Structure 1
Amino acid sequence: MSPTPWLAPLAAGPVRGELRVPGSKSASARSLLLAALADGPSMLSGVLASRDTSLIRAGLTTLGARIDEVDDRLQVTPAAELTGGGRIDCGLAGTVMRFLPPLAALAEQRTEFFGDPAASQRPMEPLLGALAELGAEVSQPRSLPFSVARGRFRGGAVSLDASGSSQFVSALLLGAPRFPDGIAVTHSGPTLPSLPHIQMTVTLLTRRGVAAVQTGPASWQVSPGPIAALDEAVEPDLTNAATLLAAALVTGGELTTHWPHGVQAGEELAEVLAAFGAQLTLSTGPDDTRQLTVSGTQGLRGADLDLSKVSELTPVAAALAALAPEPSRLRGVAHIRGHETDRLAALSTGLGELGADVRQTADGLEFRPSRLHGGSFATHADHRLAHAAALVGLVVDGVLLDDVACTTKTLPDFPGMWQNLIGADR
């Protein structure tokens, strides 16, 4: 995908209105995978249309599932037996490179995984090592590109260090109902990040009748057994919603969106905005849906936040911290150095070049009040970094993103949504 430079539009005044946000990337990936392993066809609505979900759909098809578009829904027909034998493009998507190898360990033929050049830097060793320990044949080195074959794989008990990504645990749990011996997985390292994403995995498993339980502070068990076919609707992506709602905070406006009480860390995400000065109002909208209104009329302030549960929001929190008139500290996110890029280094450098007084810490970032100015911002092909730069650009003229095309990872038309949001014409 060719980089697309983009001048972030400046807001003419307070941003106001209602938001419609596409489906959750995390929930879309999990629902697609479980539907591809189920006992019969499932019909999914609200699945995010993005590069990441297109790649996981293609990967599941390579492994033997069939996915058909029916109007605006997806009908997923599982394979009786996973076949494999092909090549799976992971792009930069952690959900593809981590969720699909355990399925490849069940397939009849060896499956090869490859991705974008930067994908080889994303942590994979703990998951691939666990699969090898459980009997799968996994190539060396254990980073992209790699291959996986069945070998003597049956599942069972395994310990791994998931401090680099909670996706290592979710990957094993999602495939476990099809493992002959299920899975009992224990996180053996330091603090486990993004715990709500593991809780999402367990919830979606149990919805389909799977016996999935948390057996300890950092251990989970999934028993082998059927995965029920289920027609379901994917929730809107609340991380993306929080990103868009932050526009109300930095411009002193007010925005409202659907805010379901479901499988995502909705309360934790909303609390990040509140910590920076947003006023939050939960109400009941049409059809008894829950809505969240974010008002920024009382102004932006600094915050001291542990973002370990909602680390995906760190770039947006960093943008808010860079604009705040008071000091801020973001912590608990050392693991995001291994995301699409080293997000802490990229945020420190990128925001620093726009005038922010920011320094890296062992597990986050610290900000002191500063006056930002326009300039070029390197996104490193990372959608969340692009979101942060766009947010700064609402109130700082002349912020030029070196690439906005990377936002298709989670929002197919981010520039259009962003400009419609603020009523911009440039």
Structure 2
Amino acid sequence: MAANPTAPTALWPAPHARGAVDATVHVPGSKSVTNRALVLAALASEPGWLRRPLRSRDTLLMAGALRAMGVGIEEGVGPDGSGEAWRVIPAGLRGPATVDVGNAGTVMRFLPPVATLAAGDIRFDGDPRSYERPLHGVIDALRALGARIDDDGRGALPLTVHGSGALDGGPVSIDASSSSQFVSALLLSGPRFNQGVEVRHTGATLPSLPHIRMTVDMLRAVGAQVDTPESGGEPNVWRVTPGALLGRDLTVEPDLSNAQPFLAAALVTGGKVLIPDWPSRTTQPGDRLREIFTEMGGSCELTEYGLEFIGSGRIHGIDVDLGDVGELTPGIAAVAALADSPSTLRGVAHLRLHETDRLAALTKEINELGGDVAETADGLHIRPRPLRGGTFHTYEDHRMATAGAIIGLAVDGVRIENVATTAKTLPDFPDLWTGMFESGGA
């Protein structure tokens, strides 16, 4: 084995559970909340604090990009000395600057609208896979709203936004069928557009609606006026009124989607896992794990300390539409491959355009361990089979890595290729995972 088991070229032996886990796992902050909060704080009219931010590749890329455009982000402790916090100091956005998006959907989609407000050119580039991820919804919408963008007609990276210091804004129609981030991207910067923004989704489907609700809630928390379909507006139309955004003191919730592998560990081993500080009310898609994993054989209780999840020792198959919570699909597929009956995961055709083609990747990797997974038009059909050890490839996708680790709990000899890719949203995953066993698992 390589000297560093988390190096990209190494194979990480996934821990095999010899008994039930019994652990408390402190999950780091939400990537989705951290990156939205950074954008809103950068566009505010006054400084703000971001407490317990996630420090991961995606969030550090977002912070670095905003710094490149002139925003001050000071890392330290909060004003009362209570843990890590970032002080965000808005400034006049400016170029020229180059932004590295890595392979972060939030960075590549949320920041071009911000760049239209900068005085100067902002160039966006990233990992090779980022060139394959769709950006046409944001690019076409910004052009319709008056922005100048050079992308050589690709509708994808790399691209340059020629910022003029302002954007007219107004009504725009987009097809966000491939990513709800197209809608969120326009809404986040909308208060700073001269006419605000009215976003009308014209596509047949809209994945990940909870993430749009998260965007709306966070906009309202910093003083923006937002009209939505849920608040009596037209279906598939969101309106943001122009106005100043307030600097806030925000504490970031734990990332509930990143809690998934740890809850799955309780389900797979028939054990118990406590996730402290699980919010009683949240827009995070990961909150639906309480319902899904309960249906698959567990039970849970939300207490003043957090979420306690207990596995029954049996895993049941599930027929479920994951259109609103697509990011949970890899972990659910991993658990379903270990169940006592077949599963059908529906509504997630858009996963073919994520960090990798997640449907193809899950099918290939589980089947190469002896599974029986078939792609459907919009998801996966999984027939449980006895699995064997082997290499589980991750395709530089953090959720593929954690899916492989879940399977490794029940299948001896699973080796994860490039487990370090989990640093995208879940820093120190290997230590958190092995620590779960040290604190009470086998």
User: Per the shorter chain, which TM-score range?
Assistant: over 0.9
Name the counterpart of 2:242. 224
Structure 1: distance between partners of 2:14 and 2:287:
29
- Correspondent of 2:149 among 135, 138, 148: 138
Cα deviation per residue 1:128-165 (whole Å; 9 max; x = unaligned)?
11111111111122211111113683111101110111
AA paired with 1:278? Answer: G
Query: Per the alignment, in what secondary structure is the counterpart of residue 210 of structure 1?
Result: coil
State the TM-score, normalizing by the size of structure 2.
0.92
AA paired with 2:224? Answer: V
- Correspondent of 1:351 among 345, 348, 366: 366
Q: Does 1:273 align with 2:287?
A: no
Q: Does 1:38 align with 2:44?
A: yes
Deviation for aligned residue 1:298: 4.4
Identity among equivalent pairs (%): 49
Structure 1: distance between partners of 2:414 and 2:329:
19
- Correspondent of 1:390 among 391, 405, 408: 405
Asked if 1 retains the 8 angstrom alpha-carbon contact of 2:260 and 2:286, the reply is: no
Name the counterpart of 2:195. 181
Q: Which runs of 4+ in 1 moved over 6 A?
A: none
Deviation for aligned residue 1:325: 1.4
AA paired with 1:178? Answer: R
Cα deviation per residue 1:39-66 (whole Å; 9 max; x = unaligned)?
1111111110000000000011111101
Asked if 1 retains the 8 angstrom alpha-carbon contact of 2:122 and 2:163, the reply is: no
AA paired with 2:125? Answer: F
| Cα gap change, 1:109 to 1:3, in 2 (>3 Å) | farther
Alignment of 1:3-402 (within 5 A): 3-71=9-77, 72-79=84-91, 81-139=92-150, 140=152, 141-150=154-163, 153-214=167-228, 215-257=233-275, 258-260=277-279, 261-285=281-305, 291-402=306-417
Deviation for aligned residue 1:267: 4.0
Deviation for aligned residue 1:216: 2.5
Structure 2: distance between partners of 1:303 and 1:252:
18
Asked if 2 retains the 8 angstrom alpha-carbon contact of 1:208 and 1:227, the reply is: yes
Deviation for aligned residue 1:296: 0.8
Deviation for aligned residue 1:254: 0.9
State the TM-score, normalizing by the size of structure 1.
0.96
Asked if 2 retains the 8 angstrom alpha-carbon contact of 1:106 and 1:149, the reply is: no
Please, which moves more after superposition, 197-206 or 259-268? 259-268
Deviation for aligned residue 1:2: 3.9
Structure 2: distance between partners of 1:49 and 1:405:
15
Structure 2: distance between partners of 1:306 and 1:314:
10
Structure 1: distance between partners of 2:432 and 2:336:
23
Asked if 2 retains the 8 angstrom alpha-carbon contact of 1:4 and 1:405, the reply is: no
Query: Per the alignment, in what secondary structure is the counterpart of residue 376 of structure 1?
Result: strand
Query: Per the alignment, in what secondary structure is the counterpart of residue 388 of structure 2?
Result: coil
Name the counterpart of 1:288. none
Structure 2: distance between partners of 1:268 and 1:70:
33
Question: Aligned residues, how many?
Answer: 420
Deviation for aligned residue 1:269: 2.5
Name the counterpart of 2:3. none
Cα deviation per residue 1:152-204 (whole Å; 9 max; x = unaligned)?
83111101110111000000000011111110001110110000000000000
Structure 2: distance between partners of 1:165 and 1:55:
20
Deviation for aligned residue 1:14: 0.5
AA paired with 2:255? Answer: D
Structure 2: distance between partners of 1:4 and 1:124:
32
Alpha-carbon RMSD across the aligned residues, in angstroms, is 1.5
Deviation for aligned residue 1:402: 1.2
Cα deviation per residue 1:51-105 (whole Å; 9 max; x = unaligned)?
00000000111111010012321000001x2113110000010010000000111
Unaligned runs of 5+ in 2: 1-6, 78-83
Structure 1: distance between partners of 2:50 and 2:35:
11
Structure 2: distance between partners of 1:377 and 1:2:
13
Deviation for aligned residue 1:213: 1.9
Asked if 2 retains the 8 angstrom alpha-carbon contact of 1:259 and 1:266, the reply is: no
Structure 1: distance between partners of 2:408 and 2:110:
35
Structure 2: distance between partners of 1:24 and 1:422:
24
AA paired with 1:206? Answer: R
Structure 2: distance between partners of 1:44 and 1:306:
34
Structure 2: distance between partners of 1:9 and 1:265:
27
Asked if 2 retains the 8 angstrom alpha-carbon contact of 1:3 and 1:405, the reply is: no
| Cα gap change, 1:182 to 1:329, in 2 (>3 Å) | same
Query: Per the alignment, in what secondary structure is the counterpart of residue 100 of structure 1?
Result: helix
Structure 1: distance between partners of 2:375 and 2:283:
32
Deviation for aligned residue 1:273: 1.0
Asked if 2 retains the 8 angstrom alpha-carbon contact of 1:36 and 1:65, the reply is: yes
AA paired with 1:364? Answer: G
Asked if 2 retains the 8 angstrom alpha-carbon contact of 1:243 and 1:313, the reply is: no
